[in-house]
Structure formats: C-alpha cells, structure tokens
Structure 1
Amino acid sequence: MHCGKTTGRRAMRKLLTGTALVLAASGVQAGEIKLGMTTWVGYGEIFLAKELGYFEEGGLTVDPQIIEEASLTMAGVASGELQGTAATIDEIMKYRSDEMCFKAVYALDDSHGGDGILAPADVGSIADLKGKEVGMNEGSVSQFWFNILLKEAGMTEKDVQIVNMTADDAAAAFMAGQIPVAVTWEPHLTLAKEQKVGKVLVSSDQTPGLIVDVIALRCDTIQNQPEDVKALVAGLVKAHEYLLANQEKAYEIMAKGVGGWLSDPKDFAASAAGVQFYGAERNAAFFAGGAEGEAGKLVALGGEIWGGLGKLHMDVKYEDLVDTSFLAQ
C-alpha cells in the first residue's frame, strides 16, 4: 500500500549520513524521472499516463518502480538513483531535512475508506479502545492517522498498548484472534466484513483529506529539469481526465501497471472505490491558500503528530515541502 514499511530512528540517521554530498553529485539525466512507490491503488494514474504515452508527449520518460519498503525508496531518492517518490504527505515529512531536500509537486489521491481500524463488535468508539492492544505499523501513515483519532477522542498512545507490526500482520493477527484491534487497510477491511470478524470501527471515508498521496521530487530535479516536471504534471492531469471518461478501460491499464494484489481489474476497481483520485481541479483546491489552506493545515498537523513522537529531522514548514509552481502551467 501507499504506507509501506518503516525503520527506526537509528536506520534513518544512517540513511541520511552524507546525503548532502550525494545530492551534489546525483547524476540526474534530463528527460527521465524514476519514481519509487509501494503497491497502492492511488498510484494507478502514474501507470495510466505512462501506458497512454502522455509523459512521452512532453518528451519525458517516467520509470515507476515498486519498492515495498519506504526506507529503501527514500534511500534511492537520497542517492539520486530515484528522482522522487509517490507517498503520503505525512510519510515524506519524516525524511525531509536540511540535507535531504525534496518537495511535493502534485497530489495524486486521498484515502476514502481504504484505511481503517478493525475492532471487536462490542467496541463503539475510539474511547472504548483504552487499555487494549493495538496492532499497528509504527512510523507509518497508520500511526499518524491513529494518533489524530486518539487526539480527537482526548487520548494519546499512552492510553492503549501499541504492538508494532506491519498492517498486513496486524490484520492477520486480528482475524486469528491474537490481537483485539488492528490499524490496517484494504483488502483486509473487506475480508473482515465478509468473514464477519469484528467490525470496521472507523475508516478513512470518515476522515477525508488526512491520508493524501503526492508526487515528491528531489529539489535538484525540480531546479534542473523544470520541463520534465512540467511534463510529469501535465501527463498526470491528462491521465485523470482519461480515467473520468473511460473508467473501465483505465482500471484495466492501471491494474496491470500497479500489479501485485491489485493486478486483477476487479480487485483494482473495488479498491479504487476507497480512494478519491485527484486531477487539476482538486489539486488547485487542495493547495489553495498555501500554508493556511487544506494542504498547509495537513503539513502543520503532520508536524504536530510526528514532531510530538520525535520522528522529524527538522521543523518542516509548508514551503519546505511543497512546490505548486507546475500546477499553474
């Protein structure tokens, strides 16, 4: 999924060692952008634009690479092997530093039901989770989202017992009765419903605009390859328009491109129902208002949550993380 797996602070510090020198000699090649990403339905339009030749129309070759480990993707961005990543806003905030510069140039989607919390049938609210074990991937968007829900309920992680595991493992443990609560994502939410195991206590369709995926590119790529970035954004916008007009065919192409557990167009379509794909209009609205707008408030929230958990390398401001100049072209 979009979240991927995460590593600890020690691994992160190792990842960032010497990044400044690497960035200075990244060997970026004009006319090509390589992007790392996990297997997630929201990234389908990247593959759609590539397959339909929309990037090539702007003289750009885009190479999307599926890398299920988020830290490995960011290591590739740091080394210059990748020019960017598709990931959630809160995810990239944890890697941003003075030495490792990258910015979001386009918003792809947000989760509208694709993420959720599995809990016993008799649990009625987040407040009822107090004292319970919660299986969750620490450092991922699951932790970010769960902390927002805890905050709204007047709680913190100290009110529950966090058990660190991947979202897939958390779902499996929940289904097997080994853990009472799991923060996970599709297809596990649907499987739990079908097998009538517990219930989905909260899903992301109740919290729109909190789990937002973006394309983030290295700052030197943005500076040295502006025409390529322009072609990237234009291709994604055109792919979204194609999706709106040709959904069934688009899903076939996107499923083949994304692959993995989403390789069947029917599975892709079912998962796509849990996201909102962004186009030019939604990007304009999302980034409107800068630091005071929707995107800016999400960055501020990310700073509050991740900063409070000691996961940030710098005080990340909106202007440190976002470049909207290519959306206006």
Structure 2
Amino acid sequence: MTPLFPRSHAPALRRRTVLAGALAAAAALPLRAQGSSTKIVFGYTAVTDFATLFVAKEEGYFGKRGLDVEPKFIPLNPSIPAAVQSDSLQMGGPTPSVYLQSVDGGLDHVVVGGGGTTAKNMTGVGLVARAGSGIKNAQDCLGKKIGVPGLGAYLHVTFRAWLKANGVDAAKVSFVEASFPQHGDLLRGGSLDAVVTADPFMARILSSGAGSVVSYYTTFQPDGMPTILYTARRDWAQKNMAAVKAFREATVEAAAFINNPKNNAKVREHLGKYIKLPPEVLATIQIGPPGPLINEKQLTYWVDMMKEQNMLKSPVNVAQLIAK
C-alpha cells in the first residue's frame, strides 16, 4: 500500500501537526496562562454605578482572565473620553450622554459594556436644595443656580428632561459644573441654590442638614437604561479583541455576584474601597441593578433624549457603536 505521504516527509509533517495542536491549545487558554497580561487603566467616577468594575477587580474575575485592570479615579465624568482618546486610559466609564457627545464630536470610541442601570425604585439620585433657597418644585428652579457633576453628563441631561416634562425651560436655569465631593460645601457656603447629586454624596448632604430633597427625579425613566457605559477607542478594541471579550465576561460574572443577596456586604466593602465611604454610609446607599451587556435599544433611548435637547449634530448609527 502506498503511503499517503512519502516517508521522507513524515517527520516534518509530524512537527507541523504538533505545532498546530500546540497553537490551538494555546489559543484556548486564558490570556494569563499564555504568559501575557493585558494592562487596562480604567477611568471611573465616585458613584455606585461602577460596582461591576470594582467587584470584578476585587473578586479576581479580571485577573483569572489575564487582565491587569487598574481603576483610576476621575473627578469629572466629561473628562473621561479625552483621557481614553489620549491613551491615558485604555477604557473608561462615561455616562451615555457624555459618550454620545464625544462620538458626535469626532471621537471613534466603542461601547464594550455597561455599569449600572435605571430602576423605578432607585432613590439614590435627586435634586437637593439648600435650606432657604425657596426651591420646592421644578418651577422654583427658574433663575436659580444649580450644580451638576458634569455639563452634558447623565444627571444634567436627565434633569433637563425632567424640567421639560414639568413645563420648565431649562435654558432659564443656570447650571454650574461641580464634582460630587464639592456639592455639600457649595450648598453650605451659599454658592449654589441646589445640586443634582447622587449617593453617597446626597446621603452626606442630607445627614449634615446642608440641604433637603426636592425630587428623586430620575424615577421618570424606564427601567433598565444604562447610566454608565464602559468604552474604549475603536482601534484599541480591535487590536485587543480577546481582552475586550474577557473584560465583558468578567463584568457579567461580577453582575451575578452583585445580584446574589448573600454578597451584599462584600459588594459594599468593594464600593467603599474605591469611592472612599465610611461603613455607616455604605450601609444605607442603594446600589442600582447592574447592566454589563449593552444593546442598540438602550443606546437609542439616549440618542432620542439628546436629540430632543438638540445635543447631537449628526445622525447616530448605534449598531456601529457596540464592540463585537
């Protein structure tokens, strides 16, 4: 019987077969097992919406997938896209409105996942007025100076939508950009009449007596809309497809951990490490439902809201904005 391959070719064939098998096996292993570790500096702001990031880091979900993720605090959310563009951050968590504005402005960034989501029962975000400001409802905001943790960011955009829904022209309200940690001091000092803020900073303001809640205004939104998007430059994501997939898988695992009531204390411990909260504050704040996977419908919701506020100049193809 004639051999399929000449005997003189057999050793080379065996070597190629072994090599091919080794390459296939290596491709199936996690990144770290292959002797590599992808470094990702991730920009976050001091809110609970980044719980999946913190849990994935502290529970080792990134590490076991060969990712060396370094969470880096960024005071103002609108600063994140520029830092991602410059490669100071490889990934970051802008709010949907900040992200879409950056894309509209020419940055080629994609969504790799999501942080927190909206929920009707969430009272961790609100309009908090300074004592003596006279602000009791939406109409009272006219002519007032109101602090927001980022012009064009989530709280600013949703607050303007709430004002409109209550018959108030947002153009007649003076908005001042101020980071979350400044809110209490600016109210106490009288620099602002009110702030659009979130826990844990809202809880601190209320406990200190510096202000009172006028409205937990975000409850007008439907459930399940993303409050934070995890993003990266498109070229970086394309060059690091395995890392993007591993990052997403790690945050999905973190979301499952967060959703298990048995892990509540541990989740709050991880939050406290990164947003610097004392145990007594951690025990009281709400943690929104995690939403690690983002779809076109969710992005379209934000596009429509921003178009209504004339915040986008160009058409947006949401299908092209989600990393595969």
TM-score w.r.t. length of structure 1:
0.72
- Over the matched positions of the two proteins, sequence identity in percent amounts to 23
Name the aligned partner's letter for residue 96 of structure 1.
V
1:235 CA displacement: 0.7
1:188 CA displacement: 4.0
**Equivalent of 1:268, from 282, 298, 303?**
282
- Shift of the 188–63 alpha-carbon distance from structure 1 to 2, 3 Å rule, reads closer
Q: Which moved more, 1:171-180 or 1:240-249?
A: 171-180
Whether the 8 Å contact between 1:30 and 1:225 is mirrored in structure 2 is no
Whether the 8 Å contact between 1:35 and 1:82 is mirrored in structure 2 is yes
Whether the 8 Å contact between 2:143 and 2:173 is mirrored in structure 1 is yes
Deviations 1:30-61 (A, max 9, x none): 73322112222221321221222212332222
**Equivalent of 1:228, from 238, 243, 250?**
243
- Shift of the 233–165 alpha-carbon distance from structure 1 to 2, 3 Å rule, reads closer
Whether the 8 Å contact between 1:98 and 1:314 is mirrored in structure 2 is no
- Shift of the 188–230 alpha-carbon distance from structure 1 to 2, 3 Å rule, reads closer
**Equivalent of 1:129, from 141, 147, 153?**
141
Q: Secondary structure at the match of 2:196?
A: strand
Match of 2:321 in 1: 321
Name the aligned partner's letter for residue 54 of structure 1.
Y
Match of 1:251 in 2: 268
**Any unmatched runs of 5+ in structure 1?**
1-28
- Shift of the 109–165 alpha-carbon distance from structure 1 to 2, 3 Å rule, reads closer
**Equivalent of 2:92, from 82, 85, 88?**
85
Match of 1:156 in 2: 169
- Shift of the 316–156 alpha-carbon distance from structure 1 to 2, 3 Å rule, reads farther
Corresponding pairs, count: 279
Whether the 8 Å contact between 2:162 and 2:217 is mirrored in structure 1 is no
Is structure 2 residue 303 aligned with structure 1 residue 299?
A: yes
Is structure 2 residue 111 aligned with structure 1 residue 104?
A: yes
1:97 CA displacement: 4.5
Match of 1:32 in 2: 39
**Equivalent of 2:220, from 207, 216, 221?**
207
Whether the 8 Å contact between 2:56 and 2:62 is mirrored in structure 1 is yes
- Shift of the 269–89 alpha-carbon distance from structure 1 to 2, 3 Å rule, reads farther
1:222 CA displacement: 2.3
Whether the 8 Å contact between 2:124 and 2:216 is mirrored in structure 1 is yes
- Shift of the 320–152 alpha-carbon distance from structure 1 to 2, 3 Å rule, reads farther
**Structure with greater Cα Rg:** 2
Name the aligned partner's letter for residue 238 of structure 2.
Q
Counterparts of 1:231 and 1:38 in 2: how far apart (Å)?
22
Deviations 1:60-114 (A, max 9, x none): 2222212224455333311223221012111212222575211112121036333
- Shift of the 42–265 alpha-carbon distance from structure 1 to 2, 3 Å rule, reads farther
Match of 1:5 in 2: none
Is structure 2 residue 238 aligned with structure 1 residue 238?
A: no
**Any unmatched runs of 5+ in structure 2?**
1-35
1:156 CA displacement: 1.9
Q: Secondary structure at the match of 1:212?
A: coil
Counterparts of 2:298 and 2:106 in 1: how far apart (Å)?
27
Match of 1:26 in 2: none
Q: Cα RMSD between the aligned structures?
A: 3.0
Name the aligned partner's letter for residue 308 of structure 2.
E
Counterparts of 2:252 and 2:158 in 1: how far apart (Å)?
28
Q: Secondary structure at the match of 2:244?
A: helix
Counterparts of 1:40 and 1:294 in 2: how far apart (Å)?
20
Whether the 8 Å contact between 1:94 and 1:313 is mirrored in structure 2 is no
Deviations 1:151-208 (A, max 9, x none): 1122222333444544544543333445433222334432443345553111255234
Counterparts of 1:206 and 1:98 in 2: how far apart (Å)?
30
Match of 1:6 in 2: none
Counterparts of 2:159 and 2:218 in 1: how far apart (Å)?
14
Counterparts of 1:146 and 1:115 in 2: how far apart (Å)?
10
